[in-house]
Amino acid sequence: MKLLFGSLFMLCTLLSQGQTINWVEDALLFNPEILIGKTLEANVNFPQTKPQKQLIFNIGRYQSSNKQEWAMRLKSPKTGYSFGITDFGNIDSLGLAFSLMPFIEFKAFRSNRFSILAGMGASFVTKTYNAKTNPRNQAVTTHITWATRTYLYYQFLSTKNIDLRLGVGYSHHSNGHTRLHNKGYNSYLLSLSTAIKNPQNNREIKDSVALTEPPKSVFTYFSARAGLGQNSFSTAFNKTKGVYSISGEYGKVYNNTLKIGFGFYFRYYDHYYDYIKGKEWMVRNGKEFDYFKSAPVYYSTNLGVNFNAEVLMNHVSIDLQIGLNLHKPAYKLDWRINTGWENTPKEIPADWVMGEYNRPYKIKQLISGRLGLKYYLLGLEKKPKNNFYVGAHINSNAGQADFSEISLGYVHSFNFRERI
């Protein structure tokens, strides 16, 4: 797990170095933010909390003078890093979180007053679940977690030196199923923030450079990747083990900014295989999944098809995937153990209540998700025919974390043409 989140930190560092841009003097962005809200209960008997409080410093760049195509296509967004400290409302049981998140902020509703910010990165949480010393907090069991935030802002006052904004949004911290318990911290907050303008140059950023939008274009691509993931199986089998994946994808890139594709993925889970080969309780003779022993590798795999959408920003991209599982038989076993009574033991009593095959099961067993960041070796602005990337992603079963992953991929582009 340290390797995984270490790779995420390295990727965040690369993101900060991936944009080679000519900036105007007043393109720097400094945006301190105060937030207050509610930490939602992660489990039954969750510790009582006071209002959650956050202090965030958003540091980055206005893209108004960026001549690269992606910045013009995305209508001059803001990009940078959010550095934050969070008091969840109970320092003794929940502690503090220190976060680092790359972010991108777009204009919303075709208005200069409204904007939407999305950020994804990592956080360090000072208090975690402990069966003896902190049993009521089942939100996270690792100090290093994924962190995401999505906010809508309204600029209600603008002066010569500052802009004032109100915002509302959602923040999340969890370890991506690398260790249980992992209910996650989920919070809804209100924000008051200010954008401090450059006192040496008070020009409107949007008027600093007149840029001509490039001609529209489209080209085809094929990509392949290999991934190394990590996850945990249950509280009784809570050691982090590997998830190995390969994937192929075919699609089109529009205006060198939006990539749309379809593909397949194949995954193999160490935890499923070890449970079957170890002849644990649910696969023993006469038990519900005893037939798994006839082909442990087969029943430890996952095959599916996916739709992929990716926002390209030269070296950097935001990657979203929705998939359909065609084959994931061991998820039945996973569901039975993890969605009935909590803390299912290795040797399961005869009267133990197991998870039921209900509607939520059918949805989570069928639908997979994948969200993350990529860093491309060659800048996409030059439309290279061959390229490589490194990615950090969290994978899910219909929104519920499945495993965290780092990946290496190859992309081949062809059939480039301009469109009217």
Write down the pTM of the prediction.
0.88
pLDDT value, residue 242: 97
Is residue 285 scored above 80 in pLDDT?
yes
pLDDT value, residue 371: 95
- Per-domain residue ranges of the chain: 2-207, 216-419
pLDDT band at residue 213 using 50, 70 and 90 as cut-offs: confident
216-419: CATH topology: Porin (2.40.160)
pLDDT band at residue 14 using 50, 70 and 90 as cut-offs: low
State pLDDT tens for residues 154-184.
999 988 888 999 999 999 999 999 999 999 9
Architecture of 2-207 per CATH? Beta Barrel (2.40)
Same topology between domain 2-207 and domain 216-419: yes
State pLDDT tens for residues 41-79.
999 999 999 999 999 999 998 888 888 889 888 888 999
pLDDT band at residue 201 using 50, 70 and 90 as cut-offs: very low
**Burial grade of 126 (CB within 10 A; 0-12, 13-18, 19 or more):** exposed
State pLDDT tens for residues 87-128.
999 999 999 999 999 999 999 998 889 999 999 999 999 999
* CB 117, CB 105: distance < 8 Å: yes
pLDDT band at residue 2 using 50, 70 and 90 as cut-offs: low
CA distances from 371 to 120, 258, 272, 319, 394 (A): 9, 16, 23, 6, 6
Burial per residue of 292-318, b for 16 or more beta-carbon CB atoms within 10 angstroms, e otherwise: beeebeebbbbebebebebbbbbbbbb
pLDDT value, residue 205: 46
Angle between helices 359-366 and 330-338 (to 10 degrees): 140
* CB 84, CB 59: distance < 8 Å: no
CA–CA dist 228, 211 (Å, integer): 42
pLDDT value, residue 75: 87
